[in-house]
Structure 1
Amino acid sequence: MYITIKYGDNIQKVVNPNCGAKSLLEFIRKQCSCNETDILDLVDETGVLKKLNEQPDTDNVKTILQSKAIYIPVLVLKGESEENKEFVPLLKEIEELYPGLLEKLQSFKKKSGGRKSRLEPSHTPHKKSNVNVNTAGKGTKGGRKK
């Protein structure tokens, strides 16, 4: 079993998901040069948030992720409440590669319940993120490297 992680300037990494959620997210954090304090998660090509950051590390992610699927890492920015989380994809030119997915991520909120959740429209406006992704897939905040 393997999955593909797409990030940065359409960099693709084939990954073995036979591990705990924390281990996989730590690997992705290093690949994307994110801070240890950044909250990461994965979204599939259809907009299903995998909520790996909420899974215990004892749970093997191969039971959550689909074999041979493509996943995009997202930075989770906490809002004023649980429903106001903002998701920033760590893949450049995401709109060209996956039309409509960025719009879902920016104007949708997390649906409660279940391990998998499709994003649903939010009734509260989100502030614009100041996190950018450079060509190496490295997140920057406010124009500075993290």
Structure 2
Amino acid sequence: MANLNLIGLETEKARKIAEQLNFLLSDLQIYYQNLRGFHWNIQGPEFFDLHQKFEELYTVTAEQIDEIAERVLALEETPFHSFEDYIINSGIKAKTGVHDAKVAVETISSNLKNLIIREKEILKLASDAQDEGTASLVSDMIKMHEKNSWMYRAWLK
């Protein structure tokens, strides 16, 4: 029992999960900022629809960011909280100067793919550690991100 943390997980497994959650937190922060930029800068005939859709996406993403940071804390680790940390640790790259709808949606689609891959890696770690809290949180995110991925791929066709 000495190697269990306060929520009953093996300390080392919880640390590894928190580390991966911090990488996901970094990905989500860059994804969020990309969405904000697309929302602000989109131009063209799709402006009204995409401006609103991008706002919906970044609002949900802000909630996910908070949930991931709080889960890192529940695992007794410290969530990343600087843009320097996010930039260094994200597999998603910041996209600037995007005004074109197609480029914005292609970027969102690519970002979602990266998020889903990272989330599935965390889901496996959480399942192996019997960390139902993290598994449930990440599983819900996977479901949402897979649905959004399909929708944005459909928009691109």
TM-score (norm 2): 0.26
* Structure with the greater alpha carbon radius of gyration: 2
Q: Which has the higher strand share?
A: 1
Q: Which has the higher helix share?
A: 2
- Structure of higher RCO (CA pairs closer than 8 Å, 6+ residues apart): 2
